[in-house]
Structure 1
Amino acid sequence: MEADIDNNRTKANRKIFIPAIGTLGDVKPFLILAEQLKQRGHTVCLGTHKRFENSVKAAGIDSIEIGGDLEIILTTTPDGMEIRRNPSLLKIGLIKRTFASAIEEWFNGIMSGLKDADMIILGVGSFLIGLSCVEKFHNVKAVGIYTFPMLKTSEFSAPSIGGTSESIFKWINVVKWKIFEYTTASLYQDKVNQLRANVNLRPIKLNYYEMIQSIFHKPMLTATIYSKHLLSRPSDWQVNDLMVGPILEEVPTNFEPPSSICECLSKWKTEKIIYLGLGSMMSIMFGTDEQMGFLNNIQMAIENNNSKAVISLAGFQQAETDRLSNTETIFYLRQPIPHSWLFPNMSAAIHHGGAGTTHASLRYGLPSLILPFGADQPFNGDRVFVKRLGPRPIPIRQTNAKNLTKAVHDLITLNYNMYSANAKQISELIKNEDGLGECIRIIETELAQ
């Protein structure tokens, strides 16, 4: 971390509330940030879903439970399962109905976390609800820290609506941002204003910049924790909106890898090894039959290319994967291992394209094949493809043994030298970014005002 951050450390022991709504990929960078803030003398409370409670406590961070866990909603409710089967923004009525209870739980959780807080840190999953709540607490400051670009620009499309990251004509990008803003407002507006009325707050129009001006009467400092070497900072962003680079985990000091993976890596030390991991998105978006069908297809693609692979079974149905055995070409990883330990031992990566995993794989110079489910993942996959860091992404619901075999061949054989050289180059650039340090700097700058 850069030494000049200490110049801004003028007020210690401030209470900072960080609502981290979403998947593990949404929580992890904020947990890393919370640990660093605590080390610097601040009191930090992380708001998360119940399933992350133990991880937060293990890090020594105070926590408050925020309900509305979409993983549970999408896998256990009829409406949620229908969205999972066929996700589409055209189903706005179904999505709105499904999200209503979650929005209420997010709102109530954030309101609880704001009590006695000096600052709230808003993220991708919490910015609209957080801004809707913070107006009740006049002395609370706010900073936005976004895992992918969330601020409108004419230079690229809105990541959350999927598709390619750039259009030839800037007006197309502008239209896509308007679609994103309209869809988001339609989803949240009625429920948020109903909840605001319950706490004696006036109705508000859910427009990002109008809300900030109305509440704070000045621009809000933001940091997008995305590498400017993967996507240039837009020239039409406001001066207070920064792109600072990712927040990535280091190898835990007490981490001991399982002997089985060490033996596998030793046996394959002269081979190109592919990492495959799809994280919690697999359990959220796919049923058991779809999970096993995908696993069969990717295994066939690995074998067709005579490749070696470490396949993470995180997110797959355990009852089914318990029957799998390691082979001469595939090692099944059955427990979590930090990317920071595993990726230096890999030659390439295949993953879902979450912003955290995308940056982690590139940080360690791995050519990457992205198989996106949705949200920002197609955008991140397109950035990898545009930068010639890996093959064209394949939406995971469109994968089959044939196109996966072709893509793996492209990744690990046909264009491997080009992808690898480009990945090693961006790796060095990402290592020189200091996303964590820059976030600390802007937080303490705002607290010092």
Structure 2
Amino acid sequence: MCGRKPKAVFMAFGTQGDVYPLAAIAAAFATDQKQYNVILITHSAHQSLSSHLGEKHVEFCAVSSPPVLSADQNNGIEGEGKSLFLLEKKKITRDHRRECFSLIERLFGDDTSVDGDLIVINFFALEGWSLAECFSIRCIVAAPYVVPYSAPATFERQFQREFPLLYKYLIEAPAGKVCWKDVDHWMWPLFTENWGSWRNDDLHLSPCPFTDPVTGIPTWYDRPQSPLVMYGFSKEVVECPAYWPSRVRVCGFWFLPIEWQFTCTKCRETLLYDSSGHQFEEDYLCPRHLELQNFVKASPIFIGLSAIGSMGFLKDPRSFISVLQAVLSTTNYKFILFTGGYEPLESAVRTIATEATLDQNSWSEDCLSLFNGRLFCFFSSIPYSWLFPKCAAVIHHGGSGTTAAVLQAGTPQVVCPFVLDQFYWAERMHWLGVSPEPLSRNHLLPDKNDDRSIQEAARVLSLAIHDALSSRVKIRAAEIAEKIFLENGVSEAIKYLKEELSLS
């Protein structure tokens, strides 16, 4: 063994909800295992993590690719426009993979492999699996949600027909070795052309994992261990079926350190909380944010769209605000809106405030009120663990991080999913009894900005809020919060990593 320190590389791509939980594990691992060099590889758009990670001695390495391509970006595009979009997408993918290879080569290419080296990936960083194979590094999967995609219904039948020996190799695998359950659960995209050509042409590996690059025959002589898969959610919330691979570990939710969740440095500095990080003193916000502190005393309804804007779904922010205004006109509710850093929504809020001839001198840099003070718009961030327990209900898109925070707070939910795992969480929350039936997106973001569409969306949203505020849902939300209160998902993840690496 060489004299260098072992390296733990955490490779996480996607939105904040995809990346930040793995960053939290990286920081905790670096604190627990000081003999390691710990590195996070993610998008440059998440640069704000750099300072937090630096305090924990975690190196931040950025790639230039965007966290997400607009989900609706290619809808309605035909002919040459669609071709250009697909070409641009291929170029982004090609450049992204090239940057990933360069970073891993810089980290591992000039060193003799150390037994403790590892690469931890999320489901949007499958490059890491092949790169780990290329440099003979152990690979572990860590995800804050269940696999957000599933294999086509015909996948197993086609696989068996095209790769009969490999299928036999996986089906008949000894206990503890990589097997068909691993492929069916999360590995299946690695056997598609999209990944095969990159593995073969750029990494000089076999196009198919677990096969010899020369003969294409399964590596019967070298069966790898089934990879560790860690999930960042609670067993009290998600059922863990028997057909999952035996090496899946469910940790509990991966909540971020409190100090990462502030935009305002003064609020962070004046925050007082106990050692558990959950119980806050009442008067903690800085003077600039006393208006926010006073507003939440009225138990408003929170609404936040997080990454939905950047995904391309919030095409008409004014129609969305009009829906909220229509709800306010027929109810006694108050809303607190977090804009999630989405500039078009923030611009629409400021424009409406200007048109209403509000006194701009009363505006602060990151908050203002609309509609007679009943809609409080906040452009920064405050820990959800402080805010959500003070809210009557939380309306959100079903992202895993927001869902976990609402469950922890014991607050009723209204979920409007848009993409991927958000639909799973929306259905799961309804099944658990902590929210009414999920909303369709047009009930939050109407397709048309006309009075009829706005009023219909407002009617449905009002009914959903009414159902969420029922005693039945409130009681159930409190029960779930009590069950997950003692869980510490990040600590559990560190425990599983240490077991995997035989660390004390």
| d(CA) in 1 for partners of 2:202, 2:234 | 41
The structure whose Rg is larger is 2
**Is 1:233 aligned with 2:232?**
no
Distance change >3 Å, CA 344–CA 65, structure 1 → 2: same
Partner residue in 2 for 1:284 = 311
CA contact (8 A) 1:275 1:350 kept: yes
State the match for 2:121 in structure 1.
122
Could you say if the C-alpha distance between residues 38 and 179 of structure 1 is closer, same or farther in structure 2, counting changes exceeding 3 Å? closer
Q: Structure 1 residues 70, 120: CA separation in 2 closer, same or farther (over 3 Å shift)?
A: same
The Cα offsets for residues 30-77 of structure 1, whole Å up to 9 and x where unpaired, read as: 121121112121321111111112322343131111232144x439xx
| Equivalent position of 2:159 in the other structure | none
Report the secondary structure of 1:310's partner residue.
strand
Contact 1:161–1:376, Cα closer than 8 Å, also in 2:
no
Return the letter of the residue paired with 1:320: A
Query: Which is worse superposed, 384-393 or 411-420?
Result: 411-420
Q: How far 1:293 sits from its partner (Å)?
A: 1.4
Task: Give yes or no for contact 2:232–2:252 (8 Å, CA) kept in 1.
Answer: yes
What amino acid is aligned across from residue 70 of structure 2 in structure 1?
L
| Amino acid aligned to 1:50 | S
Of 144, 149, 154, the residue aligned with 1:160 is 149
For residue 194 of structure 1, what is the aligned residue in structure 2?
A: 198
CA deviation vs aligned residue, 1:249-295 (integer Å, no higher than 9, x gap): 243263564546533443552x331111111222322354x222122
**Taking every aligned residue pair, what percent have the same amino acid on both sides?**
20
**Structure 2 residue aligned with 1:344:** 389
2:323 aligned with 1:297 = yes
CA distance in 2, matches of 1:377, 1:438: 24
In the alignment, does 2:61 pair up with 1:64? yes
TM-score (norm 1): 0.78
| Letter of the 1:35 counterpart | A
What is residue 242 of structure 1 aligned with on the other side?
A: 249
Q: Assess, with a 3 A threshold, how the Cα gap between structure 1 residues 414 and 420 changes in structure 2: closer, same or farther.
A: closer
Question: What are structure 1's unaligned runs of at least 5 residues?
Answer: 1-11, 87-91, 151-158, 163-176
Partner of 2:335: 309
The match for 1:74 among 64, 70, 75 is 70
For residues 60 and 218 of structure 2, what CA distance do their matches in structure 1 show?
A: 27
**For residues 284-433 of structure 1, what are the structure 2 equivalents within 5 Å?**
284-286=311-313, 288=315, 290-314=316-340, 315-317=342-344, 318-323=346-351, 324=353, 325-326=368-369, 327-399=372-444, 400=446, 401=454, 402-412=456-466, 415-433=469-487
**Cα gap change, 1:213 to 1:23, in 2 (>3 Å):** farther
Worse overlay, 344-353 or 318-327: 318-327
1:272 partnered with 2:299: yes
Distance 1:220 1:261 in 2: 47
Change over 3 Å in CA distance of 1:429–1:418 after alignment to 2: same
1:206 and 1:347 map into 2 onto residues whose CA distance is 52
Q: 1:445 to 1:203 in 2, by over 3 A?
A: same
- CA distance 1:214–1:49, shift in 2 (3 Å): farther
2:170 match = none
- The answer to whether the 8 Å contact 2:6/2:37 transfers is yes
Does residue 45 of structure 2 align to residue 55 of structure 1? no
Q: Is the partner of 1:358 in helix, strand or coil? A: helix
Q: How does 1:247-262 map to 2 (within 5 A)?
A: 247-252=254-259, 254=269, 257=285, 259=287, 261-262=289-290
Report whether the alignment pairs 1:43 with 2:70: no
**Per-residue deviation at 1:365?**
0.7
CA contact (8 A) 2:253 2:404 kept: yes
Corresponding letter in the other structure for 1:160: Y
Structure 2 vs 1, CA of residues 296 and 196 (structure 1 numbering), >3 Å: closer, same or farther?
farther
Q: Deviations over 1:193-246 (max 9, x none)?
A: 235422322212699xx9999987111111111221221111222321112211
Give the conservation status (yes or no) of the 8 Å contact 1:68–1:101: no
Amino acid paired to 2:19: V
Distance 1:97 1:421 in 2: 51
Q: Are 2:91 and 1:101 equivalent residues in the alignment?
A: yes
Which AA in structure 2 matches 1:133?
L
For residue 373 of structure 2, give the secondary structure of its aligned residue in structure 1. coil
The letter for the 2-side match of 1:236 is Y
More contact order relative to length (CA 8 Å, sep ≥ 6): 1
- Separation in structure 1 between the aligned mates of residue 184 and residue 141 of structure 2, nearest angstrom: 20
Q: Tell me which residue corresponds to 1:148.
A: 145
**1:181–1:144 distance in 2 versus 1, CA, 3 Å:** closer
Is residue 263 from structure 1 mapped to residue 263 from structure 2 by the alignment? no
- 1:178 CA drift (Å): 7.3
Residue pair 1:21, 1:125 contacting (<8 A) in 2 also = yes
Aligned-partner Cα distance in 1 for 2:313–2:141: 32
- Is this contact kept in 1: 2:398–2:423, CA < 8 A? yes
CA distance in 1, matches of 2:440, 2:187: 24
Instruction: Give the whole-Å Cα distance in 2 for the aligned partners of 1:391 and 1:430.
Output: 21
CA, structure 1 residues 331+95, in 2 after alignment: closer, same or farther (shift >3 Å)? same
**Cα distance in 2 for residues equivalent to 1:361 and 1:353:** 10
2:377 match: secondary structure? strand
Cα 1:354–1:418, aligned 2, differ >3 Å: closer, same or farther?
Answer: same
Give the equivalent residue in structure 1 for 2:17: 25
TM-score where L is the length of structure 2? 0.70
Report the 3-state secondary structure (helix = DSSP H, G, I; strand = E; otherwise coil) of the residue aligned with 1:223.
strand
CA contact (8 A) 2:434 2:476 kept: yes
- The structural deviation recorded for 1:396 is 1.8
Write the letter of the residue equivalent to 1:389.
V
Relative to structure 1, is the Cα distance of residues 112 and 432 closer, same or farther in structure 2, using a 3 angstrom cutoff? Answer: farther
CA contact (8 A) 2:53 2:60 kept: no
Partner of 2:154: none
**Which residue number corresponds to residue 173 of structure 1?**
none
Residues 213 and 219 in structure 1, CA contact (< 8 A), matched pair in contact too:
no
